[in-house]
Amino acid sequence: MAEVSITNAISNIKRNDPIMGQVIDVVGDYRLAVDKSPFRMLIRSIAGQQLSVAAAGTIWYRFLTTNGGRRVSPNSLAKLTDDSLRNAGLSHSKIRSIRNIQDAFSSRAYSVSKLRKLPNEEISNQLQQLKGIGPWTADMFLMFAIGRLDVFPVGDLGIANAIELFYGFDGRPGSEAMNLIADKWSPYRTIASWYCWQGLDYARLHNWRPSPRRK
């Protein structure tokens, strides 16, 4: 997306939600990077499910080493044994999920080019037909693999924690409350979600909170 369009999108978010505007101001420039290999991103998301950032990074490094430096693709995965994936630290259930995704893309039942042509909801629905892919993984694919700008991963713990902190909830907000806030960010919910993640890190590091919105 062109820089001027990102600038306009951020202005739109700040105009509609002054609290998020404060978060944007302290975080600075928008730097979400879209993965050049959507298939690789999908496999990485499976490998890192239910792990800390550090643990997920370690497993992914081991996986790449096992893959021999080759581009992550259905063909490269076909050359790896289940035992080698297990030795890299992947659980049996994750290996089954990866094999299912590998088969789906190898058979051309799924392809990135076909998925790119579909609306967000249809992409999410199709991906969730594959074992191991739920709403969160589908949202990450939309955001980080094909760069869709209006995605809100309501099931993400980091975003829930950010909304709880920034908007003064007494406890973690439910999905309905989160969606009501995120509606103010549409059609650029991906951008605001990225600022939630970055803003939460900033707030914890600097003991910062946005000022309450004036009524």
Domain containing residue 202: 3-33+152-206
Do 54 and 116 reside in the same domain of the chain? yes
Q: What is the pLDDT of residues 84-137, one digit of tens each?
A: 999 999 999 999 999 999 999 999 999 999 999 999 999 999 999 999 999 999
Q: What is the pLDDT of residues 169-187, one digit of tens each?
A: 999 999 999 999 999 999 9
In a domain, 202, yes or no: yes
What pTM was computed for the model?
A: 0.90
3-class DSSP string for the chain:
CCHHHHHHHHHHHHHHCHHHHHHHHHHCCCCCCCCCCHHHHHHHHHHCCCCCHHHHHHHHHHHHHHCCCCCCCHHHHHCCCHHHHHHCCCCHHHHHHHHHHHHHHHCCCCCHHHHHCCCHHHHHHHHCCCCCCCHHHHHHHHHHHCCCCCCCCCCCHHHHHHHHHHCCCCCCCCHHHHHHHHHHHCCCHHHHHHHHHHHHHHHHHHCCCCCCCCC
The answer on pLDDT for 215 being more than 70 is no
In a domain, 141, yes or no: no
In a domain, 169, yes or no: yes
